[in-house]
Amino acid sequence: MAIGIGMGTSVFPFDNARDYFKWVDKCEAGKVDSIWQTDRLVSKESMLECLSAMAILAGYTESIRFGMNVASIAIRDPLVTAKQCATIDYISGGRLLPAFGLGSKISRDYTATNISTKGRGKKADEALEIVSRLWAEDSVTFQGEHFSYKDAVITPKPANGSIPLWIGGSSQIAVKRTARIGTGWLGGIDSPETAGAVVSGVKEALKNTEREIDDDHYGATLLFRFGNQEDRSVLSTTKGITARMGKNARRYYVVGNTSEIVERIKEFIDVGCQKFVLLPMASGTREVMEQTRLCIDEIIPEFS
């Protein structure tokens, strides 16, 4: 069983831009499996644009893989997206891990831009087909409800001839989309119970599509912190999750010592997840670097 422990950022947590590279250096030197950037275009909070971040990582790093967690394909042009991803993968020598979803229908990405959420699932399906075909085929002609292409070609192609296409989301539609076109599934901030239901659902849906997804291509995103429930970042996270989901926030993150964090990861493994994006609950460079150090020293060795 190949367990991969990656790390990611959502809201930009560092004191300044240069500190981001110090964190990347620590991740790469510490044998972190991969680096991920959450996607949000319209936000009062400071967040890096995920594909721009991937391009930076392609040039800055030597061996670590990286991906977006997850890019909202329904508000992106599929030709531009395919070209961006192919370029990043080519320049990095095949290290990009593309992951796509819809984003929340109440996201400011939609409401601030007056983009209708009606039919966005169909639009996403068309976009994902176009992206995957542009990566693989010499020429793409496509006629759909939302997009029309004639003899579209992109070069260079991705360096990775079997570049993955991970799908995000936990709805039944996302389950079916993953089974129909995805090569993997990457969950958002979910509980082990929700992640397990999605993994089981995808595996069942694959029977109808007559496709296969490798067992180690199911992933989970997990907020973590070495600390206690009274830490400022934990209190803030609890408030945000409770307001958004109206549920017991503690099933959506883990706080404590090494054994408690390892145990929560194992709960996800037990329901079929083998790839992880760990998001440190921390504010400021010093806290993020310390949480990352503890993850590298105490969590990753448990799953080597």
Residue 106 — very low, low, confident or very high, per pLDDT cuts 50/70/90?
low
Maximal CA-CA distance, the chain: 58
Residue 302's Cβ-count burial label (10 Å; 0-12, 13-18, 19+) is: middle
Residue ranges covered by each domain of the chain: 4-303
Q: What is the pLDDT of residues 200-226, one digit of tens each?
A: 999 999 999 999 999 999 999 999 999
Per-residue tokens: 117: 């959420």
- How far apart CA 208 and CA 135 sit, in angstroms, is 25
d(CA 292, CA 7): 8
CATH architecture entry for 4-303: Alpha-Beta Barrel (3.20)
pLDDT, one tens digit per residue, over 160-197 is 999 999 999 999 999 999 999 999 999 999 999 999 99
> 153-192 burial string, b = 16+ CB within 10 Å, else e?
ebeebbbbeebbbbbbbbeeebbbbbbbbbbbbbbbbbbb
